[in-house]
Amino acid sequence: MTHCPARPWCKHCVYGAAAEYPHRTVVGENGESTVPRVMLDYCFFKEDASRLTDEHVNKEEAKVSLTALVMKETMFDSVWAYALRSKSVAEGPWIADQIIDDLNTVGMAKNRIIVKTDQEAAIVELQTEIARRRADIGTSLENSKVGDSNSNGKVERAIRDVGNMVRTLKSALSEKSGLTLTLDMNIVPWMVRHASYLITRCRVRSCGRTSLQWIKGRKSLTEPALRRDGHVQDPEDRARGGQLRGQVGDWRLGRHDHP
């Protein structure tokens, strides 16, 4: 089950999406650009978080946390996510190679691109490393202004979507397995990667196609989404008004188990 698109009758989809605070993107961002932009930003998953607040301190602490990097490109609106041990490029040199490999998958192997990040030192280091490895092709660097969090709105939305999907997958797997999943389990980095895979492969864009269909020029072969009535539903059905509503129940792909 992909959980993409999210269904209001699926408690795991509702749980995954409900915890996030809505962010606004910049209207018309990249609207007149002919050069594809690749936007990067870090996000954090936390468990058992508590906020310490007094007249001198206002910070959040968590017993378990996971750092992730989210990438959004503007050529096909695909989303990619990576679970990291730390932000340092030196401690995770594979991340630059993986990003370049994913850009090649999209079809940007020979495209001049603009890599956009904020001005945090760790992500600027990664941005520079990507440009160095693509020096023979051409990579421009762009950084958001200090304090201007809305100027990178597209990747902020992608972070929200990945976070929602990770929580959805975690909730669904916890129920199916009967286990309490925590962020320090080995399966969680896979969930982060798989969440972005589902968004890229299954979410229908405004053009009526998923990002993967747009990239490949053909229909996705991914299993269709679950419908509440027990019938399978093609990802493109949402573009034709196929979203259904109803109560939460016990649903499985392709059939409905009646009580």
Contact (CB, 8 A) for 5 and 238: yes
Question: So what's the pLDDT on residue 149?
Answer: 55
Contact (CB, 8 A) for 133 and 127: no
- Rounded to the nearest 5°, which phi and psi values hold at 69? -115, 135
Question: So what's the pLDDT on residue 17?
Answer: 73
Contact (CB, 8 A) for 137 and 13: no
Tokens representing residue 148 in the block = 């201007």
Contact (CB, 8 A) for 112 and 86: no
- DSSP letter for 144, please: P
d(CA 72, CA 41): 9
Question: So what's the pLDDT on residue 106?
Answer: 93
C-alpha dist (Å) from residue 184 to 47, 162, 188 = 10, 18, 7
Question: So what's the pLDDT on residue 245?
Answer: 38
Q: Which residues of 99-126 are buried (b: 16+ CB within 10 A; e: fewer)?
A: bbebbeebebeebebbbbbbeeebbeeb
**Global confidence as pTM:** 0.72
Question: So what's the pLDDT on residue 25?
Answer: 46
Give long-range contacts, CB 8 A cutoff, 24+ apart: 205-208. Answer: 205/77, 208/236, 208/239
pLDDT in tens, the chain (259 residues): 677 777 777 878 877 776 544 444 444 554 556 899 999 999 999 887 655 565 665 666 767 889 999 999 999 999 999 999 888 887 778 999 999 999 999 999 999 999 999 999 999 999 999 999 999 999 999 998 765 555 578 899 999 999 999 999 999 999 999 988 888 899 999 999 999 999 999 888 888 888 988 888 877 555 555 545 444 445 445 444 544 433 444 433 333 333 3
Question: So what's the pLDDT on residue 118?
Answer: 92
Question: So what's the pLDDT on residue 99?
Answer: 96
Q: Which of 200, 205, 203, 255 is nearest to 232 (CA)?
A: 255
Domains contained in the chain, CATH given = 16-221 (3.30.420.10)
C-alpha dist (Å) from residue 142 to 98, 119, 217 = 20, 9, 30
Question: So what's the pLDDT on residue 220?
Answer: 59
CA angle 61, 184, 127 (to 5 degrees): 75
Question: So what's the pLDDT on residue 206?
Answer: 83
Q: Which residues of 134-172 are buried (b: 16+ CB within 10 A; e: fewer)?
A: beeeebeeebbeeeeeebbbbbbbbbbbbbbbbbbbbbb
